[in-house]
Amino acid sequence: IILRVIKTANDQNSEQKEKVENENKEEKKEKSEKKKKTKTKPKKFVFNCTNCGQCCSRDFPIYYEDLKRWNMDQTLQRVYPHLQIKVNPPAGFQITFKKVKGEDGKEVCPFYNANSNERCDIFFSKPINCLAFPLGFDKSTKRYYLVDKSCDGLGKGEMTKESLREMRKNARLDYNCRIRTLNTLPLLQMIFLQFFNQQSQQVMDSLSEEDRKELERILEKKESAATATEGKKEEE
């Protein structure tokens, strides 16, 4: 009888335990379903430039591909006086534009034009980073992200699939160009040398025959003086 009572009690405990476990499973399931329902979907990326000019006051990189393109379409002659190299850890350095004071006294890109519809005097050949803004790309996670969440064009109007595809393409291009530029400093030097050679040739072509001969005489004198100085150093 005692064994039967113990067995009955154990059976009841097992049933009670199983009932509690089932209730806990149901409760967890309900909570999980509620979380799925209440979980907010990430906001859809929508961007339409409002030409506010806000992004024109930021520091942005100029890439090797930009310089190469500008050298080919003759824009380099226009942008060169405004280029500068800034130390930018951890990348090491960054080629960018020297800012100028705008009409409101704030520093902006030298090609920002408040009176232009596009707000940009080199709109026809914009820097790659400007084309990608405000979207960025991280290759390690293969994810896109917002470079500036305060951009005025975010959430404005509608965005077509073609526009979104173009933005993403520019964001990936921006990432690839940033990496490539850091590895192509010697090539950048070649582009600048090519530019200087072209400029020198244009100056020479614009000189009269008399001025050209005078310039050649000056250069010959400088070369002779340099040779004489080297000769004295060797004798000493």
List residues bridging with 108 in a β-sheet: 100
What percentage of the chain carries pLDDT values higher than 70?
Answer: 62
Whether residue 59 lies inside any domain: the answer is yes
Residue (of 123, 148, 126, 125) closest to 135 by Cα position: 148
Whether residue 232 lies inside any domain: the answer is no
Is pLDDT at 109 greater than 50 in this prediction?
Answer: yes
Whether residue 47 lies inside any domain: the answer is no
C-alpha 111/C-alpha 96 separation (Å) is: 12
pTM passes above 0.75: no
Average pLDDT over residues 200-218: 69
Residue pair 147/110 in contact by the 8 Å Cβ criterion:
no
Residue (of 148, 121, 136) closest to 177 by Cα position: 136
Domain residue limits at 152 = 54-186
Residue pair 145/167 in contact by the 8 Å Cβ criterion:
no
Whether residue 169 lies inside any domain: the answer is yes
Task: Give the count of domains, the chain.
Answer: 1
Whether residue 69 lies inside any domain: the answer is yes
Query: pLDDT-based confidence at 5, cuts 50/70/90?
Result: very low
Confidence at residue 85, expressed as pLDDT on a 0 to 100 scale: 79
Whether residue 117 lies inside any domain: the answer is yes
Which pLDDT tens digit goes with each residue over 135-194? Answer: 999 999 999 999 999 999 999 888 999 999 999 999 999 999 998 887 776 666 666 666
Confidence at residue 168, expressed as pLDDT on a 0 to 100 scale: 96
